[in-house]
Structure 1
Amino acid sequence: MRDLETRELRYFVAVAQELHFGRAAELLGMAQPPLSRAIRQLEERLGVRLFDRDRRSVTLTDAGTVLLREAEPALNAVAAAARRTKRAGESRHSIALVTKAGASHDLLQHLLEVIAADPTVPAVDVLFCEVGEQATMLRDGRADVALMHQPVDDLAGFDAEELFIEGQVAIVPAKHPLARRAHVTMADISDVPDLPLARWPRLDGTYPDGPGPEVRTQPQIAQLVALGKALLVIPASSRAWQWPEHVAIPVVDAPEVTTVIAWPAHSHSRDLAAVVRAATSITDLPTLAPTSAVNGL
């Protein structure tokens, strides 16, 4: 059997994600009949059915579920190879670093200063993303390295070095009675009738149960807090996007969060290694405790 082609995998993934040949064809910018033929030919070559389909629905078979699980990282790897090869051939060598917008602001500022002062370290292009997007950008080659957080971010398949540990704060509306508290516990904020905890998606994309609003972006949650519709708990260093309508209160018993610098485990880039060494050389950032040490934010 000849090797699978990336074109075939893209076609299959589109149908598997949409579970609708018409919508998948539209996303791919092609007509439906050639897409259907391509899927049938793929099934014939593999000797298995990938989809069960009738007039009303399209569903993945067990074999199709396996191929979807394998196809997505394979396509990411191909895209990553192309992007990193292109960057390696450019006259200006640089490393693409991705981080959540507003996260680890002091660390990022220190890192850029260290890199600017050391001619042996390549330039860093900073890319900002939303919550949970760093892993995808590392895997598909849009980024070479990332600032990420344990235990909340997906570090599967990456190497990482710990940079610092910090406590968490609750971001609440400035006019809410909680805003006058010097500190709170998780129990204090888990059952506030008029101010539910916002719900971020888990690593698998699903949301935890709860009364709070489902959010995906920082602007969404920032406005919900400012309007008095929700609160959230975040690492203390992620307050760079905090609005004047917000107040940050230390949460004394919230789990600690570890900021790491992460990169694909197979990387052999000397430029990348130089950036990681620069990050781990930063020693003047305090270890932020989850107690009154983060008061006065």
Structure 2
Amino acid sequence: MNDLEVRQLRYFVAVAEELHFGRAADRLDMAQPPLSRAIRALERQLGVALFERTTRQVALTAAGDVLLRDARTALEAVAAAAHRAREAGSPSPRLRVALKADIDGGLLPRILEAYGADGAALPPELVLGAFGEQPQALRDGLADVALVLHPFDRRGLDSEPLLTEPVLAAVAADDPLAARPGLCLADLAGRRIVGGPPSGHGRPDEPRPGDARPAGTRPAEAAPAGARPASNLSEIFSLVETGGIVFLTPASVARRYPRAGIAYRPVSDLPDATLAVAWPQDARAPAVAAFVRAACTVAAEATDVTDVTDAAGVTTQTPPLAPGPTA
């Protein structure tokens, strides 16, 4: 059997994800007949049927399911190789750190300082993205290392936990909820919520910053008509102060943004947020090892618990650390 080509895998993935040859052809910016011929040629090359075709639908076979999983991984690896080669060949390559703005446990400035003190020639480039984008940025070669919240998609990645901290509810200072020392999720019923723990932490409908919607609704359900999702912390805090939303946020964000019009309260049945540093499993660059080393050292030394968490009766902890990648 001849080796598969990237083009063949790209064609196959498009059809497998769309389950419609016409839509896949549009997505690939090509005509449908040559796409159909290419898929038939791929099936002949492999000696298996990848799709079950009827006049009404297209479905993956068992062989197609297996190839789809591996084809996605292969295409990610090819794209990552190209990105990394271009970066390594640039006149002044820099370590690229993927993260969500303000979701760094308050550690980023000290990590950058420690990384520089470890002999780095250039400061890292910060690659900012939305929640959940950082692991894929690593797999795609768009970043070399990332700060992420657990749980996350760990395919092809190694990681070390850095910091575990509670998730607090930010409510308007004159909200009746602010008079309570602590809350539970049931107390937030009927409220519009922004933020929350990463997907997989036990709630079926975890909201996200920038995704304001009524508490208890599914992601597919929209916020009230005319409501524009909040797009940054300044807008989120303004909405909290006016009683428009409740903001669920790691305690470190609350520490950095105390506001007279906002009260932060612990939520007893929300899981803690765990910050981790992650990198590709095949990473060998000394800069990656240096950043992970700096992050773990700073996290181990981060023992301060500030007023906002003390007042709420919660603490921030660092977990036991295992060795990071070797240079």
Q: TM-score, normalised by structure 1?
A: 0.82
- Comparing 236-245 and 278-287, the one that deviates more: 236-245
Give the structure 2 partner of residue 2 of structure 1: 2
1:212 aligned onto 2:229: no
| Cα distance in 1, alignment partners of residues 32 and 97 from structure 2 | 39
| Cα distance in 1, alignment partners of residues 120 and 204 from structure 2 | 44
Give the structure 2 partner of residue 160 of structure 1: 159
| Cα distance in 1, alignment partners of residues 260 and 49 from structure 2 | 56
Alignment check: 8 A CA contact 2:49 2:61 kept: yes
Q: Which digits, 9 at most, give the CA deviation of each residue in 1:17-52, with x for residues without a partner?
A: 111111111111111111111111111111111112
Alignment check: 8 A CA contact 2:164 2:273 kept: yes
1:113-128 alignment runs, 5 A limit: 113-120=113-120, 122-128=122-128
What SS does structure 2 have at the residue aligned with 1:171? Answer: strand
| Cα distance in 2, alignment partners of residues 245 and 25 from structure 1 | 53
1:286 aligned onto 2:285: no
Give the structure 1 partner of residue 312 of structure 2: 295
Q: Which digits, 9 at most, give the CA deviation of each residue in 1:228-281, with x for residues without a partner?
A: 676453322245799998643222453233211111112111111111112122
| Cα distance in 1, alignment partners of residues 194 and 125 from structure 2 | 34
| Cα distance in 2, alignment partners of residues 147 and 121 from structure 1 | 21
| Cα distance in 2, alignment partners of residues 109 and 59 from structure 1 | 50
Alignment check: 8 A CA contact 2:205 2:219 kept: no
Give the structure 2 partner of residue 193 of structure 1: 190
| Cα distance in 1, alignment partners of residues 110 and 118 from structure 2 | 13
| Cα distance in 1, alignment partners of residues 259 and 37 from structure 2 | 53
Shift of 1:197: 8.1
Shift of 1:122: 4.4
Letter in 2 for 1:273: A
Distance 1:108 1:200, change over 3 A: closer
| Cα distance in 2, alignment partners of residues 285 and 220 from structure 1 | 27
| Cα distance in 2, alignment partners of residues 220 and 38 from structure 1 | 45
Distance 1:197 1:143, change over 3 A: closer
What SS does structure 1 have at the residue aligned with 2:124? Answer: strand
Alignment check: 8 A CA contact 2:167 2:197 kept: no
Percent identical pairs in the alignment equals 41
| Cα distance in 2, alignment partners of residues 101 and 236 from structure 1 | 15
Q: Which runs of 5+ in 1 are unaligned?
A: none
Q: What root-mean-square deviation, in Å, do the aligned CA atoms of Structure 1 and Structure 2 show?
A: 3.6
Alignment check: 8 A CA contact 1:160 1:260 kept: yes
Aligned residues: 291
Distance 1:286 1:168, change over 3 A: farther
- Comparing 236-245 and 45-54, the one that deviates more: 236-245
Alignment check: 8 A CA contact 1:121 1:275 kept: no
Letter in 1 for 2:90: E
Alignment check: 8 A CA contact 1:171 1:231 kept: yes
Letter in 1 for 2:249: I
Letter in 1 for 2:93: H
Q: TM-score, normalised by structure 2?
A: 0.75
1:138 aligned onto 2:118: no
Q: Which digits, 9 at most, give the CA deviation of each residue in 1:151-191, with x for residues without a partner?
A: x22234322222222111123455642234332234544xx
